[in-house]
Amino acid sequence: MDDRLVELLKCFELRARVFQAGPLCHSASYDAADGLGYIHVQQQGTLRVDSPGHPPLLIDEPSLFFYMNPTSHRLRPKSRDVEMVCASIEFGAGLRHPLARALPEIVLIRLRDMPALDMTLRVLFREAGEQHCGRQAALDRLIEVVFIQILRDLMDRQRLQVGLLAGLAEPRLAKAINAMHADPANNWSLEGLAATASMSRARFAAKFRDVVGMTPGSYLAEWRLSVAQSLLRQGKPVQLVSDIVGYGSASALSRAFRAQIGLSPTEWVRQYHAGRDAAAAKSSA
């Protein structure tokens, strides 16, 4: 099967920063206003997780949980032996990321249910427990590997029933989604996508809507805007971006931006960089 994550990882920068590696002795709070996602790997102990977005969780065995989207939450150790690795994670932060929009607020997986992570986590926990040169960089990269392995697992085990990863977990739909990801400028039709998926037009349309949660046309429009935002934040000119993502003209791209985001591409870029600068200033204060 083709690599179902390659275009997502190419379009959206994945960046992790480990800030906790070892015993968690006191409560720790995280604010959605930081604009970050968070991933927490609990090696041992008993932990309570509180958030306005979900009921309290009591986790009493090795587990992993993450918030893809910025979410206020609080970790409360309930035993003295809590050991954790915690990291902030950015995966296309500030963009209309189709994966972030499709995931539940919190994803919680018991480590015993994800054996594919065993080898990576052993290296992660060993690195966290020792003091070597390059430790911070090693921990950051290892968490990024863990995150990619989680996405693989969510697809391969079909843990999600609706959304982008659910669509990528279905082999026929994955062919059509990969095709849109790889060539957003193509003048994709419902018939063409159905043929790519080796399905009839009606069956493909119904299956896509049921599994991904939107029509193929709506998903293509979302993906084109996501790619456009990614290119614009890199400093690419609006006309070039409009050609790459299939809008054909800067004015057509601007109309799509205003309809979906409420800003022109130029206004969005200005707002995006202002928000990033403000977040950087807050974190360094």
CA distances from 155 to 120, 122, 148, 163, 167 (A): 19, 23, 11, 11, 9
Q: How far apart are CA 230 and CA 243, in angstroms?
A: 14
Cα distance between residue 201 and residue 214, in whole Å:
15
**pTM of the predicted structure, to 2 decimals:** 0.87
Domains of the chain: 6-156 (2.60.120.10), 170-275 (1.10.10.60)
Within 8 A by CB and 6+ apart from 121, the residues are: 41, 111, 146
Per-residue pLDDT of the chain (285 residues; tens, 9 = 90+): 688 899 888 888 899 999 999 999 999 999 998 888 999 999 999 999 999 989 999 999 999 999 998 899 999 999 999 999 999 998 875 667 788 777 888 999 999 999 999 999 999 999 998 889 999 999 999 999 999 999 999 898 888 888 999 999 999 999 999 999 999 999 999 999 999 999 999 999 999 999 999 999 999 999 999 899 989 988 999 999 999 999 989 999 999 999 988 999 999 999 888 876 666 556 555
Q: Give which of 82, 70, 76, 71 is closest to 56, Cα–Cα.
A: 76
Beta-ladder partners of 59: 47
